[in-house]
Amino acid sequence: MEFTLEFVRIFLSDLAYAAPLLISLLLMIGITGYIIGRIEGWSLSDSLYHAFINATTVGYGDFRPARGRAKFLAIVLAFVGLVFTGMVVAIALHAANYAFAQVYEVSSFGNRF
């Protein structure tokens, strides 16, 4: 339980530090999704749904752009989603490494202090 609490504490702290960048990326995802939806004539909810599915690289295929500009923006959207996901994964890995070292008193090379 101590490891989990330390992990959550560090993870939330790191998210707070990275919040400006993460929020910017989320805004880019939302705005790009909205623009794609306007080009394709989708509703706002369908546009945001497509943006989320595309940015997380799930890609169900139920909504896909048919016009050239929208296809290009969908590629940009996927790339921004990958960067966002990579940032969150990197923050989680940092929190896990730090919490492991703190709770189990192990250096990054696996040696005891």
Contact 100, 3 (CB under 8 A): yes
Q: How confident is the model at residue 62 (pLDDT cuts 50, 70, 90)?
A: confident
**pLDDT grade for 84, boundaries at 50, 70 and 90:** very high
Give the whole-angstrom CA distance, residue 113 versus residue 111: 6
Cα 47 off chain centre by? 18
pLDDT of residue 110: 55
pLDDT at 9 (0 to 100): 95
Q: Between 68-104 and 44-55, two packed helices, what is the crossing angle to 10 degrees? A: 50
Place of tokens 């805004």: 27
Q: What is the pLDDT of residue 59?
A: 82
pLDDT digits (tens, 9 = 90+) for 1-44: 889 999 999 999 999 999 999 999 999 999 999 999 999 999 99
Tens-digit pLDDT profile for residues 87-98: 999 999 999 999
CATH topology of domain 2-104: Helix Hairpins (1.10.287)
pTM greater than the 0.85 cutoff? no
Q: Is it the case that residue 111 has pLDDT exceeding 80?
A: no
Residue 112: strand pairing partners = 106
